[in-house]
Amino acid sequence: MKPKTKREKKKQTKSTTGDRQQLSARLLQAPVRVAQQQVYLTMEEHTYHTYYQYLHSGNYPDGLNKEEKRDVRKKCEQFCVQDEYLMHKQRRNGEVQLRQVLMKADVSRVVKACHEGFGGAHMGRDKTVGKITAKYFIKGIKDIVIDYISNCDKCQKAANKPSMQAPELHPVSVPEKV
């Protein structure tokens, strides 16, 4: 049903906190399959808190002008709060995929956990990148991991060890017939 008058249009576009939360809940309960794999995005801490505050309580951070508030509302259409986490909503092939948003400050913690933590065992660049990309999406992760490993003391000590030299080979004569 389309609104006919300007007043009806205004009424329709006005949204309360409850309406936003209900809309997020309806989107999550929509008759589409929700992808099981969660992929993580990164975001600056200030932006993260701005979006989270708006979606969670309906309030804007102090000091935003009218245009900045409009930008926050517009960009928050792509996000929701679920289980106290800021999630990015993306529709692909009829599925709603939710991706947990990480603050950029958390990226180093994730890299450290995957490289050194349980099951990490300082496996090197490719295995560390593989382990991270299996669970997270972080733009430029390969460069981040290369930088991290180049500053990892254990990896640098292991890489600089001289490898054992194979012993010198001596020819062995084979008897012709026994």
**Is 16 exposed, middle or buried (CB count within 10 Å of its CB: 0-12, 13-18, 19+)?**
exposed
Cα three-residue angle 91-92-93, rounded to 5 degrees:
125
| pLDDT range class, residue 90, cuts 50, 70, 90 | confident
Q: What is the pLDDT of residues 5-62, one digit of tens each?
A: 555 544 444 444 455 444 444 434 333 333 434 445 567 788 888 999 999 999 998 9
Strands 85-92 and 79-82 come out as antiparallel
- Which of these ranges, 37-41, 65-69, 78-82, 86-90, has the smallest mean pLDDT? 37-41
Output the pLDDT for position 25.
44
Average pLDDT over residues 109-127: 82
Question: Which domains, from first to last, does the chain contain?
Answer: 32-153 (1.10.340.70)
* Entry pTM: 0.51
Output the pLDDT for position 14.
46
Output the pLDDT for position 5.
56
